[in-house]
Amino acid sequence: MKYRRSGRLVDMTEYLLQHPHQSVPLTYFSEKYGSAKSSISEDIGIIKEVFEYKGIGRLATSAGVSGGVTYVPTTSRSDAGRMVDDLCTLLEEPDRLLPGGYLYMMDIIGDPALMQRMGRIFASVFQEEGVDVVMTMATKGIPLAYAVASHLHVPVSIVRHEQRVTEGSLVSINYVSGSSRRIQTMSLSKRSLKPGSRVLIIDDFMKAGGTLRGMMDLIEEFQAETVGAGVLVEAVHEKKKLVQDYVSLMKLSQVDPEARRISVEKGSLFADKNV
């Protein structure tokens, strides 16, 4: 089909947005639209300018015969800060307080548009880590993990407490819960992670970090590598955390059950210039 330039720009933009972190040869667009590479290059320049101006992301281009373009989703530090500020306010609603210092977050985790925005922030932070797989613990971390993975264009590996026959052979380890100090078990299908994979761990909530520590140990069992860890909310904990190298978007800094007061502030991401 022969497109007018306006239609070509729209179609190219849609394709790039749907294929993040994937190098697309200019010949693909040239053959698809029946246009010269020089025209495609001009179109890429227009899209690149708009993407950067609107904060949608950046287009990385490579020259030469096999030249192509790669869309890298990004979020500016200021935009990320505004989104997280709004979410902090939402999480400070008193009726979210649950026993044990936890917060009710299912309405937030269940909001696809919101998870996509949070996932984009994490993808922006870890864009240079060469992530092969996003890992999370079932079940509440799954929506955020899939959002991050969609922006990085990688699969998701889901770790579970229970064993499922539908997942085939499993690798299981025991780990110590950081908050309760209880011995628990986590398992992952042998087919879920290849040796040498570069793994990004994503979770929705962290207290002392026992679950994150366990997933890191599990990754080692697969002879893979943890290249980063991100949590949506971390909680203040009286004991030393079992992991130190992680990025949090928000921090549950104070919980007063009697006054039903919750204080949520920006997390460790905003203490460093990661975005």
Q: Is the pLDDT of residue 65 over 70?
A: no
* pLDDT at 273 > cutoff 60: no
pLDDT reported for residue 170: 94
220 pLDDT exceeds 80?
Answer: yes
Stretch 239-256: mean pLDDT, rounded?
Answer: 90
Separation of CA 19 from chain center? 16
pLDDT for 67 equals: 73
Domain 77-271: CATH architecture, name and number where available:
3-Layer(aba) Sandwich (3.40)
Q: What is the mean pLDDT of residues 194-222?
A: 96
Report the C-alpha gap between 185 and 161 in whole angstroms. 6
Question: What is the Cα–Cα distance from 8 to 18, expressed in whole angstroms?
Answer: 15
30-48 pLDDT tens trace: 999 999 999 999 999 999 9
154 half-sphere exposure, CB direction, 13 A CA radius: 25
What pLDDT does 274 receive? Answer: 52
Give 57's contacts (C-beta < 8 A, 6+ positions apart): 20, 51, 71, 72, 73, 74
**Contact indicator for 257, 230 with CB cutoff of 8 Å:** no
Q: Which CATH class is domain 5-73?
A: mainly alpha
Taking the C-alpha atoms of residue 264 and residue 233, their distance in angstroms, rounded to an integer, is 9
Confidence of residue 179 (pLDDT cuts 50, 70, 90): low
Using 50, 70 and 90 to split pLDDT, how confident is the model at 239?
Answer: confident
Q: Which sequence spans correspond to the domains of the chain? A: 5-73, 77-271
* Of 238 and 61, more confident: 61
- pLDDT by residue (tens digit) across 89-114? 999 999 998 887 678 999 999 999 99
Mean pLDDT of the chain: 91
Range name among 58-62, 102-106, 142-146, 184-188 with the lowest pLDDT average: 102-106
| Residue 160, φ and ψ in degrees, nearest 5 | -130, 155
Beta carbons of 248 and 275 less than 8 angstroms apart? no
Which one has a higher pLDDT value, 216 or 239? 216
Res 112: pLDDT: 97
Residue 127 binned pLDDT confidence (cut-offs 50, 70, 90): very high
Which of the four pLDDT bands, split at 50, 70 and 90, describes residue 64? low
Give residue for tokens 């087919």: 191
